[in-house]
Structure 1
Amino acid sequence: MSTSLDRLIYMANQIARNLATDADPVAATAHHIRRFWDPRMRAMILDHLTAGGQGLDPVARDALLAMQGSA
């Protein structure tokens, strides 16, 4: 895993944890990533998800899966 990918995994997990008390943490996490992440960052994390998504917390993984389904 590359250093930049490690950082993206960390960030996605951190966003998911910070939004855990939201009414729908999966949707809130997906919305945050769609809105604030650069397209290259989104592409890299979605490629990682496709390759198995090692290291992603369940809410972060589900948010990315939802993003994949709506792309």
Structure 2
Amino acid sequence: MDVEHLVHMANQIGQFFQAQPDRAEALDGIATHIRKFWAPRMRHALARHIEARAEGGAEDGLLPIVRDALQVRADVLD
């Protein structure tokens, strides 16, 4: 699966939940959606992308709210 497409989909989820007034609920909503509806191979590909970009000091392309959700709920990408 194309990782750029995964980043795009994760950002779309983030944009949807970003409208919620409670940030904690938004972060949980993003994480729950990805955990519930993405196949493990999709989650693992996104995790590898994030790790590779972090190691190289490059931008991962994720919206800050998505990145925060994945950091708060690290179990999502397992």
- TM normalised by structure 2 equals 0.75
Q: How many residues align?
A: 69
Aligned residue number for residue 43 of structure 1: 44
Aligned residue number for residue 9 of structure 1: 7
- Compared with structure 1, are the counterparts of its residues 4 and 50 closer, same or farther at alpha carbon in structure 2 (3 Å cutoff)? same
Identity over the aligned pairs, expressed in percent?
36
Kept in 1, the 8 Å contact 2:17–2:26? The answer is yes
CA drift of 1:48 comes to: 1.4
- Aligned CA-pair RMSD: 1.9
Structure 1, unaligned stretches of length 5 or more?
none
Larger gyration radius, structure 1 or structure 2: 2
Aligned residue number for residue 64 of structure 2: 58
Of the structure 1 ranges 50-59 and 30-39, higher mean CA displacement relative to structure 2 is found in 50-59
Matches of 1:10 and 1:64 in 2, distance apart?
15
Q: Deviations over 1:6-26 (max 9, x none)?
A: 000000001000111233211
Secondary structure at the counterpart of residue 19 of structure 1:
helix
